[in-house]
Chains A and B, each alone.
Chain A
Amino acid sequence: MSECKKCRSLFLEYFYGELDSPKKKFFDDHILVCKKCNSQFEEMEAVLQFTGKRVRPEPPEEFWDSYEKKLDRRIEIENEKPERRFKVIPKWAYQAAAAVALIVIGVFIGRALFSPPIPGVQHASRQPGLATQLQPETILVHRSQDYIERTKLILLALVNFDPSIEDPYALDLPYQKQISRELVEEASFLKKELAESDQERLENLVTSLEIILLQIANLESENDLEAIEIVKEGIDRRGILMEINLTDLRLSMKKGERSMSPEQPSRKPKTI
């Protein structure tokens, strides 16, 4: 290190009186002979001396007299505060909870879609003449389920269609469009009946399906990949397939309850 560099690195320690004797002697000797370092030090010294003129406003004595009292009060208030009921939950806990929730939903949906049909329900539907005994509301629900199932097939065909690896004509769009048109027409009647029988959730689902089906019916050609992507995004954004699965699940659970309730013997032990 050159002497000038070494000297400049000691400016602050020199000004604040933090140099030991050998370094102070070196500094004094160098400053005497080096005009450049001397002038630089004087410049820095001038700023430090000028800023040293600052007078910090001192609070009045009363401020200091009441300081401990104020602090005491703050500590008291702090101690009086009830403990936080909700502690900060770490991020991993949310992630774990989300994973568990997804597994539970997956199991429910899986059981609803792929489990063997409940024997009671199958048996009832096979019985001749039983359909005629069904209530009009049940018939409407069955029709809606059938409608939803047919729509689901159309939607799945579109959602699973990947133009990057499949031939656009494999989608058979004219056929899909024709079916979609038929389903749109059917939707208007079905919605009306559902509204009359107070099936609001089913009505909402049929309305959402009608919008998507209308978009499919209006697709121009297989090569209009952009429009197909928009429809796919619409299905995804509205969570249509999820809603269909949940409705299926809900309806099959209702069916299960209904078929079990009349014949099922009470599990409670009879009291004498």
Chain B
Amino acid sequence: MTQNDQILIDRICSGDQAAFYDLVGRYKKKIYHLAYDITGDHHEAEDISQEVFMKAFRALKTFRRDAKMSSWLHQITVNASIDSLRRKSVRHAKSTGELDNVSIQENLVASSTHGFDPVQSTESAQIQNRISQALKKISPKERTVFVMCHYNGLKLNETAEILNVTIGTVKSLLFRAIRKLRKELSPFMNKYPMEIPHE
């Protein structure tokens, strides 16, 4: 745990409410992003991230000082996100996925206004759409491991610690996720080949 986290926890435990909001400020984006990557839904991610901080608020006094704060918050987020996916699959919710694509495309349109290249913008939107669809097709566990390592910058051993599994399990889930994603995406990977970066 970083020294700053330790100081923050000490302040929170001594009743300093401002310290809690400092903690929120430090982790809110990371937690929201992870929840979004797993659930693929903005509203769900917002709800989950706030729930994570509420749980943290309630449980901080009993927090083990030797544990890593970020791992703990990530752990709560992953559990809450997987629970949300389970509830969603029970409800057979369809509308959120559609909203999602719309929001992704809106975001892309907004970000592409700088380039003024409608062809490139359409291609990019298609790629985004394909990747989102492919991610939805892999199992929640595989997706969780994949997004943790690939989009959230967590190291393999950190992911294993958060999920309470071995690094071997993390690698195995990642390989499976990559194999499935390759199967889903290979037609588009050929259509839109990778640009070779200029060094």
Q: B150–A71 contact, CB under 8 A?
A: no
The answer to whether residues A48 and B178 also contact, given A18-B155, A59-B42, A68-B21 and a CB cut-off of 8 A, is yes
Question: Would you call B87 an interface residue if the criterion is a C-beta within 8 Å of the partner chain's C-beta atoms?
Answer: no
Task: List the B residue with the shortest CB-CB distance to A57.
Answer: B107
Interface residues on B, range: 35 or more
B residues less than 8 Å from A49 (CB atoms): 194
A174–B186 CA distance with the chains assembled, in angstroms: 83
Interface mask (A12-27 → B, CB under 8 Å = 1, otherwise 0): 1100101000000000
Q: B182–A18 contact, CB under 8 A?
A: no
Stretch at the interface among A39-47, A110-118, A197-205: A39-47
Q: Interface on chain A toward B: helix, strand, loop, or mixed SS?
A: helix
A59–B141 CA distance with the chains assembled, in angstroms: 25
Interface mask (B8-46 → A, CB under 8 Å = 1, otherwise 0): 000000000000010011001100110011000010001
Give the shortest distance, in Å, between A194 (CB) and chain B (any CB): 53
Give the shortest distance, in Å, between B12 (CB) and chain A (any CB): 13
Q: B104–A47 contact, CB under 8 A?
A: no
Give the shortest distance, in Å, between A102 (CB) and chain B (any CB): 38
A18–B155 CA distance with the chains assembled, in angstroms: 8
Give the shortest distance, in Å, between B191 (CB) and chain A (any CB): 11
A53–B150 CA distance with the chains assembled, in angstroms: 11
Give the shortest distance, in Å, between A64 (CB) and chain B (any CB): 7
Question: Would you call A55 an interface residue if the criterion is a C-beta within 8 Å of the partner chain's C-beta atoms?
Answer: yes
Of B54, B104, B185, B192, which is within 8 A of A51 by CB? B185
Task: List the B residue with the shortest CB-CB distance to A13.
Answer: B156
Q: A64–B107 contact, CB under 8 A?
A: no
A48–B149 CA distance with the chains assembled, in angstroms: 11
A-B contact pairs, 18 of them (CB 8 A): A18-B155, A46-B189, A46-B194, A51-B134, A52-B150, A53-B131, A54-B127, A54-B151, A55-B107, A55-B128, A57-B42, A59-B46, A64-B29, A68-B24, A68-B25, A71-B50, A71-B53, A75-B57
Residues of A within 8 A of B (CB): 9, 12-13, 16, 18, 43-44, 46-59, 63-64, 67-68, 70-71, 74-75, 78
Q: A18-B156, A59-B46 are in contact. List 6 more A-B contacts (CB 8 A).
A: A47-B178, A47-B182, A55-B108, A55-B128, A58-B107, A67-B50
Residues of B within 8 A of A (CB): 21, 24-25, 28-29, 32-33, 36-37, 42, 46, 50, 53-54, 57, 103-104, 106-108, 111, 124, 127-128, 131-132, 134-135, 149-151, 155-156, 171, 174-175, 178, 181-182, 185, 188-189, 192, 194
